[in-house]
Amino acid sequence: MSDSSAIRLAGVGKRYTKYEDAPALVNTTRQLLRGHRRSQLWALRGIDLDVAAGECLGVIGRNGSGKSTLLQLLCGVTAPSEGRVRVRGRVAPLISVGVGFHPELTGRENIYVNAAILGLRRQEIDNKVDEIVDFAGIADFIDTPVKFYSSGMFVRLGFSVAIQVEPEVLLVDEVLAVGDLAFQMKCFERMRAIREQGVTIAFVTHNLTIVRNLCDRVVVLDHGNKAFDGAPDAAVTRFHELLAEVREPEGSDIGWAVHKAGVATIEVEGLYADGARTQSLRADNSVVARLVVRALADLRDAYVGVAVHAADGTLVYSEPDLATTLPALTTNGTLTIDVRMQPTLPTGTYALSAGLYQRPTGPGKAIQLAVTPALSFHVVGRPMVQGTADLGANFQLVDGQSTSVR
Amino acid sequence: MSVVLDLDGPRTTVRRLAQQAWEARELIAILARREFFARYRRATLGVVWAIALPLLQAVVLAVIFTRVARLPLPGNAFVFVFSGMAAWAFFSAALSAASTAIVDNSQLSSKIYFPRVALPLVAVASNTFVAVVNIVIVLIAVYTSGVDPTVNVLLLLPGLALLIALTAATSALFAALHVYFRDMRYLVQAGLLLSFYLTPVFYPLSRAPGALDVIVRLNPMTGVIELYRAATVGADAHYGIAVAISVAWTLVIGATATRMYANFDRVFADLL
């Protein structure tokens, strides 16, 4: 283990046994009679990871990609089935805000319990208790049983304890998504400060904005494997690609469309502004997305649609071009479609994807033939505009009266 | 900054395990305090109940064994029965709470690591107050009931130590087994129910019922109760053997539990 690494994983895998929902006795008997072993599932496999001391690592991935298992391994709750996990320094998992809080005990009593669980000595807790109460901002309620707390107060107290443990390695799991906005900002600022103190942070989250703003490096997990490891922006792009790659099984129902593979493909060939290919757009300048459709079999009654997602995965905009039916194609025929759009968006990174659909022959749902992997692009929005959309407000003074102060 | 976590499989060395358990002693104390005080928190009389209940039990036993059922017991009948009951009540209460401790605290133990053996130990520790109250009642009974107190009273100390050690070892073992076999909870209840009668609480060891004599003599709790008796009304002539058997049980159960935790401590969370 080199001196600089705080976390090192070598060939780490974690296997779980699937349990069927039957009493253990039934399962065991069945197993003995049939002589077969329980089916097993690798939640993580072949993970190599080296995090330097002071680095802030983000971990993103879809649900079930192994993120939580990774965190559990890092805080030692569970052991790897293969490979080796090594962590240096005191670990504080922020996974578990308020774990061990007893509803009947007061806030102050719970501070002692929670801090002891996180590994503080009684003496250390005595020294920190005022700071914890202060940060949580619940001094008036500190001697009230926590069951009378609002959920916000509960979380604030839990977060305050965890953050005062002064860990060398901090593991965070989605906890910043709680509490009111003011407290979230406070937590976020505290996380930054902690990072600046040289604490190693591993961050598991769905919030891609936080990943971009806080992390030095991001790992993307997919089906228990490491799909990407590198710069946050590139990781987010890779994550969007993975999201777009989710292919529903043929004939499955995805709500408004039925999926059917093998008829055609579609890709976003590129984005063009002022005739030049670019991925950096300005809100006041229109952009053209060039889509290329290729038929793998005979293609009729098809139309396209586009969608734009924000970095945190929110759908910003989507629209199918129902008015235009594409010309029929035979196998290997191609079509190029230009989609002109006005990227009136606030500054940020977005992902563009396109889909190819076929009109149903009778009444029924449209058939999804293909979707593109997401193409990420950056928008420089109008100054001071924030939010998910730029509605182009036009402020106009209609009537006014000046009053003078005597 | 030292390596605090180095895992390449579920197994832990016994040495490392012992070290971690020792480091967790403050945590165990704080959690046991939490458990104890939370239990009486909303009651108007609060912690008074922790004294009142054992006292009530003693009074009931005193009435039954000195006024209602006059059993031919050696020495003062109440002191005889209560010195057995004092040990048994703690064993029974602590074991039934502690043998499910790891599963009952899954909300805690699936989120954060600390040596899992802490959980049954916390449950045992939070019950020790009752064991101490019971010892005090035994002492009061000895000094007020006309039994001639001797220096043997001091045997209550090793008695209490052996009782706590045996209870802790058994609890740790059952708590670990309970993660794998959830039937443990009910087996422990059934076992306690049966073994109450197979423990010489309200009969002397010398008068253990015929065929069951061997079982009573091999019962791990027998030695503890004999120590309590030796301190008060006087024990069976060969109580030394019973104590040795109890000590042996404690060591065997403790060693088995240690092995279990060394193998499974880090993977209990997978089954919670």
Q: Which of A12, A71, A77, A121 to mutate to test the interface with B (most CBs of B within 10 A)?
A: A77
Q: Is residue B106 part of a domain?
A: yes
Angstrom distance (rounded) from CA B22 to CA B34: 19
- Check pLDDT > 70 for residue A178: no
pLDDT tens for A301-346 read 899 999 888 877 778 888 888 888 889 888 888 999 999 999 889 8
Contact A80 B41 (CB under 8 A): no
Q: What angle do CA A95, A97, A100 make, to 5 degrees?
A: 110
Q: Is residue B76 part of a domain?
A: yes
Cα nearest neighbour of B3 on chain A:
A88
Rounded to a whole number of angstroms, the distance from the CA of A321 to the nearest CA of chain B is 49
Name the pTM for this structure. 0.74
Per-residue model confidence (pLDDT) at position A23: 60
- Check pLDDT > 90 for residue B106: no
Query: Which domain CATH number covers A143?
Result: 3.40.50.300
State the complex-level ipTM. 0.79
Angstrom distance (rounded) from CA A213 to CA A211: 6
Q: Is residue A194 part of a domain?
A: yes
Q: Residue A78: which of B4, B183, B269 has the nearest Cβ?
A: B269
Q: Which of A1, A40, A78 to mutate to test the interface with B (most CBs of B within 10 A)?
A: A78
Cα nearest neighbour of B116 on chain A:
A77
Instruction: Strands of A18-174 (E only): list them.
Output: 40-52, 56-61, 82-88, 91-93, 169-173
Q: What is the mean pLDDT of residues B80-87?
A: 90
pLDDT tens for B116-140 read 999 999 999 999 998 999 999 999 8
Q: Is residue B1 part of a domain?
A: no
Q: Is residue A399 part of a domain?
A: no
Q: Which chain B residues touch A105 with a CB distance below 8 Å?
A: 34, 37-38, 41
Q: Are residues A211 and A357 in the same domain?
A: no
Q: Is residue B2 part of a domain?
A: no
Q: Are residues A335 and A365 in the same domain?
A: yes
Q: Is residue B49 part of a domain?
A: yes
Q: Which of B112, B116, B264, B267 to mutate to test the interface with A (most CBs of A within 10 A)?
A: B112
Phi, psi of A293 (to 5 degrees): -105, 135
Residue B268: C-alpha distances to residues B44, B115, B179, B203, B220 (Å): 38, 11, 7, 41, 28
Per-residue model confidence (pLDDT) at position A250: 39
Per-residue model confidence (pLDDT) at position A21: 59
Q: Is residue A287 part of a domain?
A: yes
Q: Are residues A230 and A265 in the same domain?
A: no
Number of structural domains found in chain B: 1
Q: Which of B4, B25, B37, B267 to mutate to test the interface with A (most CBs of A within 10 A)?
A: B4
**A206 in Cβ contact with A343 (< 8 Å):** no
Q: What is the mean pLDDT of residues B20-41?
A: 88
Q: What is the mean pLDDT of residues A188-197?
A: 83
- Check pLDDT > 60 for residue A179: no
Q: Is residue A151 part of a domain?
A: yes
Number of structural domains found in chain A: 2
Q: Are residues A225 and A349 in the same domain?
A: no
Confidence band of A38 (pLDDT split at 50, 70, 90) = low
Q: Which chain A residues touch B184 with a CB distance below 8 Å?
A: none
Angstrom distance (rounded) from CA A114 to CA B107: 13
Per-residue model confidence (pLDDT) at position B244: 95
pLDDT tens for A359-397 read 877 666 778 888 877 788 888 888 888 888 888 888 888
Q: Is residue A388 part of a domain?
A: no
Per-residue model confidence (pLDDT) at position B174: 95
Q: Is residue B196 part of a domain?
A: yes
Per-residue model confidence (pLDDT) at position B125: 95
Contact B9 A79 (CB under 8 A): yes
The answer to whether A145 faces chain B, any CB pair under 8 Å, is yes
- Check pLDDT > 70 for residue A180: no
Q: Are residues A174 and A275 in the same domain?
A: no
Per-residue model confidence (pLDDT) at position B156: 92
CB atoms within 10 A of CB A268: 19
Select from A199, A202, A208, A198 the least CA-distant residue to A177. A208
User: Domain range for residue A186?
Assistant: 5-239
Q: Is residue B6 part of a domain?
A: no
Q: Is residue B8 part of a domain?
A: no
Place of tokens 């009679």: A33
Rounded to a whole number of angstroms, the distance from the CA of B227 to the nearest CA of chain A is 36
Q: Residue B114: which of A84, A105, A117 has the nearest Cβ?
A: A117
Per-residue model confidence (pLDDT) at position A383: 81
DSSP string, A344-382: ---SEEEEEEEEEEE--SSSS-EEEEEEPPPEEEEEE--
The interface residues of chain B toward chain A in range 204-243, judged by CB-CB distance below 8 A, are none
Angstrom distance (rounded) from CA A9 to CA A67: 14
Rounded to a whole number of angstroms, the distance from the CA of A212 to the nearest CA of chain B is 26
Q: Which chain B residues touch A119 with a CB distance below 8 Å?
A: 114
Q: Is residue A398 part of a domain?
A: no
Per-residue model confidence (pLDDT) at position A251: 40
Q: Are residues A112 and A175 in the same domain?
A: yes
- Check pLDDT > 90 for residue B94: yes
Query: Which domain CATH number covers A343?
Result: 2.70.50.60
Last residue of a domain, one of A174, A209, A239: A239
Per-residue model confidence (pLDDT) at position A22: 57
Q: Which chain B residues touch A25 with a CB distance below 8 Å?
A: 183
CB atoms within 10 A of CB A236: 26
Take residue A180 and report the two structure tokens written for it: 């009111």
Cα nearest neighbour of A16 on chain B:
B270
Q: Are residues A195 and A315 in the same domain?
A: no
The interface residues of chain A toward chain B in range 37-96, judged by CB-CB distance below 8 A, are 53, 72-81, 83-91, 93, 95-96
Q: Residue B267: which of A78, A86, A95 has the nearest Cβ?
A: A78
User: Domain range for residue B71?
Assistant: 14-266
